[in-house]
């Protein structure tokens, strides 16, 4: 009997990387549930790709379990939603720190708590968490809350990988740098953009489709021996 189609939940689905992930996974024959706060872009995506979507604010953690209540079976979790925060340590406000952690990290925990039990029961699953090169380098243009939240995303990935390998569920993170998106085109000053472009050895920014390609690879059946890995996508900014 042919395997049933896998189902993936993608957070931040309406964003630059999220949209590319949705397109790519759909092409791979995976059914999708896209989650985002941006109702307009989410419904455009729904019309364009015919996927299911949930419009919810990942900053509202108390409401998240009920927003996810009708989703049903999920095989692949892609915790991709994120907000950038440029506040450096002396200026870091606690309220922005908390918000950055709620959206970038805590919501991922709730999504994992919701869907991991089913994946464990069915003995197959993929978790892909979007970290950042900021976690590797201490943040170049990114601030301390963003950097710390993306570092914690790697710790979360390692914990899931450690606990769930035995149940057939892998967990990996991706650490991209400077992907062409509003985070680069709008949230960096022209000077920051020029400086970073000069510093990236491959001489260009990353494309969202390249990140989606890595997600597709990690979600694929033949990637089942890879777990607890952080895949760098930084154009040669750092080797390790």
Applying CB under 6 A, the residues found at the interface with ligand NAD are 12, 14-18, 36-38, 57-59, 80-83, 103, 130, 132, 176-179, 181-184
Nearer to ligand NAD (CB atom), residue 77 or residue 184: 184
C-alpha torsion 4→8→14→19, nearest 10: -70
Instruction: Decide if 83 contacts 104 (C-beta within 8 A).
Output: yes
Contacts by residues 93-97 (CB-CB < 8 Å, ≥ 24 positions apart): 96/145, 97/144, 97/145
Residue in 97, 115, 133, 146 annotated catalytic? 146
Nearer to ligand NAD (CB atom), residue 65 or residue 224: 65
Minimum CB separation of residue 91 from ligand NAD in Å reads 20
| Nearest one of 12, 7, 47 to 29, comparing CA atoms | 7
Instruction: Decide if 36 contacts 55 (C-beta within 8 A).
Output: yes
Instruction: Decide if 119 contacts 163 (C-beta within 8 A).
Output: no
Contacts by residues 188-192 (CB-CB < 8 Å, ≥ 24 positions apart): 188/141, 192/141
Residues facing 122 on adjacent strands: none
Minimum CB separation of residue 60 from ligand NAD in Å reads 8
Minimum CB separation of residue 95 from ligand NAD in Å reads 14
Which position's Cβ is nearest ligand NAD? 15
Residues facing 100 on adjacent strands: none
Minimum CB separation of residue 3 from ligand NAD in Å reads 29
Nearer to ligand NAD (CB atom), residue 28 or residue 59: 59
Nearer to ligand NAD (CB atom), residue 6 or residue 102: 102
Active site residue 146: yes
The set of catalytic residues is: 146
């Amino acid at each position: 009997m042919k395997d049933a189609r896998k189902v993936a939940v993608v957070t931040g689905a309406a964003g630059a990387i999220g949209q590319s992930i949705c397109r790519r996974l759909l092409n791979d024959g995976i059914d999708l549930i896209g989650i985002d706060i941006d109702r307009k872009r989410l419904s455009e995506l729904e019309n364009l790709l015919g996927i299911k979507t949930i419009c919810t604010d990942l900053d509202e953690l108390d409401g998240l379990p009920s927003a996810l209540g009708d989703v049903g079976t999920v095989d692949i979790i892609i915790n991709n939603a994120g907000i950038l925060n440029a506040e450096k340590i002396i200026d870091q406000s606690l309220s922005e720190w908390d918000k950055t952690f709620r959206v970038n990290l805590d919501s991922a925990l709730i999504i994992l708590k919701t869907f991991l039990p089913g994946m464990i029961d069915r003995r197959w699953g993929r978790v892909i968490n979007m970290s950042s090169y900021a976690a590797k380098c201490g943040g170049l243009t990114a601030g301390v809350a963003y950097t710390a939240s993306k570092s914690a995303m790697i710790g979360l990935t390692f914990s899931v990988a450690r606990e769930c390998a035995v149940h057939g569920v892998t967990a990996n993170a991706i650490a991209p740098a400077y992907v062409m998106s509003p985070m680069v085109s709008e949230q960096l000053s022209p000077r920051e953009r020029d400086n970073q472009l000069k510093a990236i050895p491959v001489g260009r920014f990353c494309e969202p489709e390249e990140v989606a390609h890595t997600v597709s690879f990690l979600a694929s059946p033949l990637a089942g021996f890879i777990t607890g890995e952080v895949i760098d996508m930084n154009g040669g900014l750092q080797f390790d």
